[in-house]
Structure 1
Amino acid sequence: MLPELRFGGLAVPTHGFFVGLGVLVAAVVFVLEARRRGALHEDSLVAVAGALVGGAIGMRLSGWAEHLDPHLNPSLLEAWMFGSRSILGGLTGAYVGVLIAKRLVGYRGKTGDLFAPAVALGMAVGRIGCFLTEAPGRPTGLPWGVHAPASVPECPGCLAGQAMHPSFLYEVAFQLAAFFALVWARDRVRRPGELFTLYVGAYAVFRFLVEFTRANETVWLDLTRPQWFLLPGLVLVFIRLLYGYHRGYYDMLVHKRDSRTHRGQEEGAPQAPQTR
């Protein structure tokens, strides 16, 4: 584990460095994608500001309602100062922040497709900091299991010297794959907002499954708090994706022949006469 990075005589917290670097990478990808789509203007940059502010608030306050018993939860000030810095809380806060920012400036355009690849690549970078500073995961006998020093906080496997799942590296790999998949799909999913919907659905499923390898505490039915947080969202995302599938939003991803016909009809392309 590497709690600090040193640049000459300057010591920088590893986790904070990679989170900051991830935010910077996400901002650059957002600007490049917005420019490519001709959507780089004042209103879209206001959405970015809303995401940054909302993400910071959501990440810091995510532990405020951690327990069902309110007496076990920290105060708002304690959560802000010493919160768990949950990624799910940050993403939820960022989403709400974008909605509020767009409402304040009266911007009705969809920005989710601009955020999707940016978030994926930014998360890939940020999770490197998690891997270098936090408990890797649950014990495993797999050959790629990793060891961590006993000084890592909240890590029973570290104390016991066990090999553990490199759960954060699993997420780095997923986010990198998601980024390249989104870049490939961005011109094939033409319905505004659907690229973001696909990313959210894929990440929700992945995060639910990868929690079985994470070192997070289980609270009920052997599921962790993030899994219980994700469950209702998974149901809603499944319904939303099913709706989009039946409406033909993803035809160019799953049915190439049908999608060409559908696109030709939409663009007014002449149809070849049928022969018997």
Structure 2
Amino acid sequence: MQIPFNPELFGININTHLVLEYLAFFIAYRYYVFLRKRNTDVITSNNRLSIILGATLGALAGSRLVGFLENPLIEFTLNNAITLLNTKTIMGGLFGGLLGVELAKKIINEKHSSGDLFVFPIILGIFIGRIGCFLSGTNEFTYGKVTTSTFGMDLGDGLLRHPTSLYELFFLIFLFIALKTVNNRLQLKNGDLFKIFMLSYFGFRFCIEFLKPNVFYTFGLSSIQILCVICWLYYSKFIASLLLTKHPR
């Protein structure tokens, strides 16, 4: 199979990444609905709908904002404006969605944590989307730096690069299994599973960014890495509580 992989169907080139992106949203949502039916949800249906709306709007705004910050010197022309609207990143989507949820909960006065039900559908959705990124090769800015290591792959430009999307696929499998194990074996507080997911995923993305050919840096960090630091600071109280918790010997 050649990368980028864009098969032809009935004389039409299929945008594999776009197809898998829409498929990721659809399957992740259906998985969420399945999990909600199997678990007792303390949040009412109307409030849950408001929370999903807040998450969607926050994710939409956050993904575009961080996507712009990854390439802030773009010239403002009509073509570039269209490109900017199509530029997005899952990191901005996750953090923007988090802020959107918190704002929605304040508006509807919902006190219960709402993130745990979203954890595994989010991981599944990211996984499917990352398959599309990998198959898109250098057509999507998710590829890694040129490397001489045995992991190097030709992603479409004739150079051996770190397949960072492939690395992420393996990490997501590990994270899914690990969080399933933690959720089944430990008595977590409501909302803790989502916090652990966010800290784990943002921690991974902070590290993997060093393998990507980023151009724009602030204090030696990319915009994605700065967002990761902001996420850690946002959950600093939770991190402190984990570190200070006394575990039985």
Mean CA deviation greater in 23-32 or 36-45: 36-45
Measure the CA separation in 2 of the matches of 1:67 and 1:236: 25
- State the TM-score, normalized to the length of structure 2: 0.80
Cα deviation for residue 171 of structure 1 reads 1.0
Deviation sequence 1:116-161 (CA, Å, 0-9, x none): 12211111111111112243211122212110223xxxxxxxxxx3
Asked if 1 retains the 8 angstrom alpha-carbon contact of 2:214 and 2:222, the reply is yes
Instruction: Name the aligned partner's letter for residue 186 of structure 1.
Output: N
Higher RCO (C-alpha under 8 Å, 6+ residues apart)? 2
Identity of aligned residues (%): 28
Measure the CA separation in 2 of the matches of 1:65 and 1:216: 12
Asked if 2 retains the 8 angstrom alpha-carbon contact of 1:60 and 1:80, the reply is no
Structure 1 residues 78 and 23 mapped into 2: Cα distance closer, same or farther (>3 Å)?
A: same
Asked if 2 retains the 8 angstrom alpha-carbon contact of 1:167 and 1:213, the reply is yes
Cα deviation for residue 162 of structure 1 reads 2.5
Asked if 1 retains the 8 angstrom alpha-carbon contact of 2:24 and 2:129, the reply is yes
Which residue, 238, 243, 246 being the options, matches 2:244? 246
- Following superposition of structure 1 onto structure 2, how do residues 1-276 of structure 1 map, counting pairs within 5 Å? 1-2=3-4, 4-8=6-10, 11-39=13-41, 41-66=45-70, 72=73, 81-83=82-84, 84-135=87-138, 136-150=143-157, 161-187=158-184, 188-220=186-218, 222-237=220-235, 239-247=237-245, 258=248
Cα deviation for residue 210 of structure 1 reads 0.6
Unaligned runs of at least 5 residues, structure 2: none
Cα deviation for residue 233 of structure 1 reads 2.9
Asked if 1 retains the 8 angstrom alpha-carbon contact of 2:137 and 2:156, the reply is no
Measure the CA separation in 1 of the matches of 2:230 and 2:155: 34
Asked if 2 retains the 8 angstrom alpha-carbon contact of 1:197 and 1:241, the reply is no
Unaligned runs of at least 5 residues, structure 1: 151-160, 249-254, 260-276
Instruction: Name the aligned partner's letter for residue 59 of structure 1.
Output: S
Q: Which has the larger radius of gyration?
A: 1
Instruction: Name the aligned partner's letter for residue 118 of structure 1.
Output: P
Measure the CA separation in 2 of the matches of 1:237 and 1:38: 26
- State the TM-score, normalized to the length of structure 1: 0.73
Three-state SS of the structure 2 residue aligned to 1:186 is helix
Three-state SS of the structure 1 residue aligned to 2:24 is helix
Three-state SS of the structure 1 residue aligned to 2:217 is strand
Aligned residue pairs total 238
Measure the CA separation in 1 of the matches of 2:28 and 2:22: 10
Asked if 2 retains the 8 angstrom alpha-carbon contact of 1:60 and 1:81, the reply is no
